[in-house]
Amino acid sequence: MGTLNERVALVTGASRGIGAATARALAEADARVIITHRDSAAGAREVLAGLPGEGHRIVQVSATDSEGLSAAAASVAEIEGRLDILVNNAAMTRVVPHGDLDALTDALFDEIFQTNVRGAFATVRAFRPLLVAGEGGVVVNISSLAAKLANGSNIAYCASKAAMDNMTMSLARALAPEIRVLSVAPGLVDTELTRGWAPEVRNSMIAETPLGRLTVPEDVARAVLAAVVDLPMTTGVVIPVDGGRPLGAATKVHTF
């Protein structure tokens, strides 16, 4: 891995899980890291305290608040004077069985899309001037294997991540050559959310994963760092971090 010395990175929804691990990985690579949260101040402070290096800070803003994002961008312009890396990690979901259409209410459906899709777009829109002004900005959207398999916490979540991957391609085309845009798509991640799932569900996921374990937040963080540092000619793609899960069915095929 290369160094991100003097680079500034912003990670949305970084008070726990993938966002926290990504913030740490970027800080360990010498970037100055800005972590955002909507309503998780204690978690954000804990993450901040654990980051190596100096110059890191917290910004409280929701991905669904376009005015707040514009204010956050103005703050970064004033304090850091630049932004080189934007990681769109902020997301929301709720477990709703795919067959229970009535439980996936209009309000929940809209909230998922507002956060996971519109929020990511609005964040890019707000920070685009800073990303363009530097030496080559990078946007990494945290997607999900659910976008490909249509099998996740609920139908709207799966659709929102598919929309994010499509948007990644559109943004990569629209913002090139100044800004690269990529998605990183983990499989089932070992986080607070998934630890609450039924053991048989988690175990079945592991059994269907060729590499034999769940993805951990640090796996995703390493993929983000690789996308930023080691893939300078890559844009508009989805990088899977899923242990080969889509190949799971193939492991059951007998050859003769």
Catalytic residues: 157
Q: Give the C-alpha separation, 104 to 111, whole Å.
A: 11
Give the neighbor-by-neighbor strand order of the sheet with 238-241. Answer: 57-60, 32-37, 8-11, 85-88, 137-142, 179-186, 238-241
Displacement of CA 223 from its chain's centroid (Å):
11
- Classify 87 as helix, strand or coil: strand
Q: Which residues contact 18 (CB under 8 A, 6 or more apart)?
A: 89, 142, 186, 189, 191, 217, 220, 221
For every residue of 187-199, DSSP letters joined together read: SSB-SHHHHTS-H
